[in-house]
Amino acid sequence: MDNYMQVFQGTAFSSKSPKEIHILKDYLFCIHADGVIAKIVSPEDSGYQPLLDHYQGKPNFHRLADGQYFLPGFIDLHVHAPQWAQSGTALDIPLYDWLNTYTFPLESKFSDLDFAKKIYDDVVSTLLANGTTTALYFATVHKEASLLLAEICAGKGQRGLVGKVVMDDPGQNPEFYRDADTHTALVDTEEFIVAVQELAKSTKQGVYPVVTPRFIPSCTDEALKGLGELAAKYDAYVQSHCSESDWAHGYVQDRFQKNDAFALNDFGLLRDKSVMAHCNFLDDHDADLFAETGTAIAHCPISNAYFANSVIPIAHLHSKNVEIGLGSDISGGFSPSLYDNIRQAVISSRMLEDGVNTSLPASERGVPGSRITIHEAFYLATAGGGESLSLPIGRIEENNAWDVQVIDTKLPSAKLPIFNEDENLDDVFQKIMYLVRPEHIREVWVQGKRVHSR
């Protein structure tokens, strides 16, 4: 009998493809010492009963209670960790004003490490409690505070991918909040990459440095070029905002006479490990370039409803083989929950398909073929995120990390409306997607370690 670190018994939901889920009813999940799923055993398998007999009753055997289910941990592909301090506020003004009036003054305060620790401790714990096991973070321009965020992820057991933000152009960024100069921005980024790679060695789940030009408008050509070179030198992740709003899209057109995607690519910033947030104004050439370079989209449906004046055509981009995951975009998006973003992704896609302007005849209102299902939105939050990051996460299957949430549908204070003991499990899944709140998330595990329970 193999010696597993842990064995779990229960029913799990995981994406098979964007449109289909895999329901593993009453399976055994055997976890290796490195936190990876070594073996998944069906009750029909002849090895099932011997394994159960061997592990049942041991301290490393966990059986889910009635009404509890495993889901993959969520992967949030776009979070501004410092902006957690202003989540839910100032959402009624345009992006450009919001950045200058609220966001840059807040982010400038992260030069104070005590302040940074308070916010970063809270945002990492909050995301874990919402089922987010992996997060791709923007920190701030400050090297030390950005490293502190990576250390907090490492300490709390979250798989954090963290970027020190670069915004070096004195013509575009306020004096109180920008890199001292282009050279310093690049040196700080390189030192940050090296420090996080060193920190990663002492973690089981991994933490990763991310090359992070805030968006084209905040960076000089020299900085963008230097960041592309650093990404290649260290084979590092890259993140930025791409074609987000009318304003940002128009700015890049004026400066480079091309769309963000081609401009970023010219600087070596579209790579297999690149994740670009928003991407509302991508045309088909941009989408092909994303697919060719392996660049992924962080779809931020709540934020897009507020700042982007658009709905991104997910179904169309999937048909063009672009990798897509989901992002909360705290605090452009107000919610730390990817459940809320899953729901908004479906709602927004329905509004795009059906159209909302009733002064037009029904046949002329919407964009046919735009709607996505709740299963597709779940895919974005899980398997799509794993593919976007090229990491073995986001699915409950062999050789993936044991990154899971345990959902309790029978929580005494907030039972989900499941009245039939034999309810179809696909219906149970849909009820979980639409109705779960943080109190239903009883446990969260990352790389085989329990990192949250309630």
Q: How far is 290 from 275, CA to CA, in rounded Å? A: 10
Contact residues: Fe ion, CB under 5 A: 277, 329
Residue 99 or 236 with smaller CB distance to ligand GUN:
99
Q: Which does 99 bind (CB under 5 to 8 A by kind): Fe ion, ligand GUN, none?
A: ligand GUN
Q: Which does 244 bind (CB under 5 to 8 A by kind): Fe ion, ligand GUN, none?
A: ligand GUN
Residue 211 or 436 with smaller CB distance to Fe ion:
211
Q: How many residues does the chain have?
A: 454
Residue 182 or 240 with smaller CB distance to ligand GUN:
240
Q: How far is 120 from 117, CA to CA, in rounded Å? A: 5
Q: Which of 149, 152, 183, 150 is nearest to 166 (CA)?
A: 183
Residue 168 or 329 with smaller CB distance to Fe ion:
329
Least separation in angstroms between CB 164 and ligand GUN = 14
Q: Which of 60, 62, 33, 74 is nearest to 380 (CA)?
A: 74
Least separation in angstroms between CB 267 and ligand GUN = 17
Residue 215 or 429 with smaller CB distance to ligand GUN:
215
Q: Which does 440 bind (CB under 5 to 8 A by kind): ligand GUN, Fe ion, none?
A: none
Q: Which does 215 bind (CB under 5 to 8 A by kind): ligand GUN, Fe ion, none?
A: ligand GUN
Could you tell me the two tokens for 117? Answer: 């620790």
Residue 331 or 447 with smaller CB distance to ligand GUN:
331
Q: How far is 13 from 383, CA to CA, in rounded Å? A: 12
Task: For residue 117, count CB atoms less than 10 angstroms from its CB and return exposed for 0-12, middle for 13-18, buried for 19 or more.
Answer: middle
Residue 100 or 373 with smaller CB distance to ligand GUN:
100
Q: How far is 295 from 273, CA to CA, in rounded Å? A: 7
Backbone angles phi, psi at 63, to 5 degrees: -110, 130
Q: Which does 214 bind (CB under 5 to 8 A by kind): Fe ion, ligand GUN, none?
A: ligand GUN
Residue 135 or 401 with smaller CB distance to ligand GUN:
135
The single-letter DSSP state of residue 85 is G
Q: Which does 240 bind (CB under 5 to 8 A by kind): ligand GUN, Fe ion, none?
A: none
Least separation in angstroms between CB 322 and Fe ion = 19
DSSP 249-289: HHHHHHHHSS-HHHHHHHTT---TTEEEEE-TT--HHHHHH
Q: Which of 143, 13, 153 is nearest to 79 (CA)?
A: 153
Contact residues: ligand GUN, CB under 6 A: 80, 95, 99, 103, 214-215, 241, 244, 303, 307, 329, 332
Least separation in angstroms between CB 349 and Fe ion = 20
> Cβ contacts of residue 224 below 8 Å, gap of 6+?
213, 216, 264, 267, 269
Least separation in angstroms between CB 442 and ligand GUN = 32
Q: How far is 267 from 260, CA to CA, in rounded Å? A: 11
Q: Which does 103 bind (CB under 5 to 8 A by kind): ligand GUN, Fe ion, none?
A: ligand GUN
28 contacts 52 by C-beta, under 8 angstroms: yes
Q: Which does 228 bind (CB under 5 to 8 A by kind): Fe ion, ligand GUN, none?
A: none
- Strand partners for 296: 275, 323
Q: Using CB atoms, what's the residue nearest to ligand GUN?
A: 332
Least separation in angstroms between CB 268 and Fe ion = 22
